[in-house]
Amino acid sequence: MIRAVCFQWWEDCFPCCIPTILWKPGEQKRSKEPSSLQCMHLAVVACGDRLEETLIMLKSAVLFSSRRLCFHIFSEDSLKPEFNKKLQEWPSSYTKKFEYNIYPITFSVGNAQEWKKLFKPCAAQRLFLPVILKDVDSLLYVDTDVLFLRPIDDIWHILKEFNSTQLAAMAPEHEIPKIGWYSRFARHPYYGTTGVNSGVMLMNLTRIRNTQFRNSVIPSGLTWEEMLYPLYQKYKNYITWGDQDLLNIIFYFNPECLYVFPCQWNYRPDHCMYGSNCKGAEEEGVSILHGNRGVYHDDKQPTFKALYEVIRDFPFEDNLFQSLYYPLQSKFLDTVHTLCGRIPQVFLKQIEKTMKKVYENRVIVYLGANHRY
């Protein structure tokens, strides 16, 4: 018989529930699939002083996701030992949830130094992911200054919503065209009415590799790799945001290839610092936080900084509500004087829902002598 079932309120029960149940009574054990089939692939590019940001982003991914993760970390050689050291220091209950590879910064076409200096150090590396990761079918790319407030599993499901022509997904750069950057200042083609932001980019790499893209360089189509450098050469004197501008140009000429997901999947200070303008976040809460403009490290947007610091300081094995959620609520009290801080429910809704889900997944069922794995 079942000796004990840990189904109390999570605040009382969570500390005792460190192990994770692999199956429930009445369910058959799942056969093991190759890790490549189970993996949700996550890529990030880290150069310069982005080590800590990257580790906190990866930590948020591991804390909340259910399926196994495969991290693809592109970094300067000097950062590789530090990534290895820090990731191997994480407790085994979390390291068993992911595998990782660290890659050097490489560009398959054009001038490597030009690419490396485009916008921010190494940021253009993301353009070459379909070329480098030839064995990966689908991938989520994020900037280092991203935090996951719900499982990656949920954005991964969007891949199933792609139609037959779509091969990438991004969120709009802005919700209101009249105050958006692209609609006011861009000197090059861009997607839609406001452009798209490439800080969170879901990609079907197989489709990208197999597609001939319309372009403004030659009348016929070009593969992704063939198109990158000629496109850069044509527009390099007109682009401001580097590789993001190139992506906007590509999808301007190939709009049927892009799936646009709502703003809660790439929530930035612009969505609240001028007044709340992301309806999806108001209704469902922020799913992925994007702290661009360095807001995790200054006092311009204390709500964003509070989330970053609480996840950074959270001890892996502690009670999520006591050591993450409650400190977050406390820090938010100090941000109510700001426009973003006036809407704390937008930031808390998904993370609270996610914590409840994590709790449910960690419930322990002790089996008696008559029950066998």
Domains in the chain: ranges and CATH: 40-261 (3.90.550.10), 265-366 (no CATH)
Contact criterion met (CB below 8 Å) for 215 and 209:
no
CA of 96: how far to CAs of 35, 100, 282, in Å? 12, 11, 35
Note the maximum CA span of the chain: 73
pLDDT beyond 60 at 239: yes
**pLDDT over 70, % of the chain:** 87
Please indicate whether residue 143 or residue 16 has the higher confidence score (pLDDT).
Answer: 143
Quote the pLDDT of residue 37.
55
**35 is written with which tokens?**
């890790």
**283 is written with which tokens?**
């209704």
Quote the pLDDT of residue 95.
95
The mean pLDDT of 112-121, rounded to a whole number, is 82
Cα 74 from Cα 129, distance rounded (Å): 10
Average pLDDT of the chain? 87
pLDDT tens profile 192-219: 999 999 999 999 999 999 999 999 999 8
pLDDT beyond 60 at 4: no
Quote the pLDDT of residue 358.
74
pLDDT band at residue 299 using 50, 70 and 90 as cut-offs: very high
Contact criterion met (CB below 8 Å) for 256 and 162:
no
Count Cβ atoms below 10 Å from residue 132 Cβ, excluding itself: 17
pLDDT tens profile 333-359: 999 999 999 999 999 999 999 888 777
pLDDT beyond 70 at 34: no
Sequence-ordered alpha helix ranges (H) in the chain: 10-13, 35-38, 51-64, 80-89, 92-95, 112-116, 129-132, 152-156, 181-185, 205-210, 224-235, 243-253, 279-284, 302-313, 320, 326-332, 344-361
- Phi, psi values for residue 144, rounded to 5°: -65, -25
Kind and range of the H or E element at 73?
strand 69-75
pLDDT beyond 50 at 51: yes
User: Smallest Cα–Cα separation from 162: which of 234, 270, 260, 253?
Assistant: 260
pLDDT tens profile 242-288: 899 999 999 999 999 999 999 999 999 999 998 899 999 999 999 99
Helices and strands counted in the chain (H then E):
17, 11
pLDDT beyond 70 at 314: yes
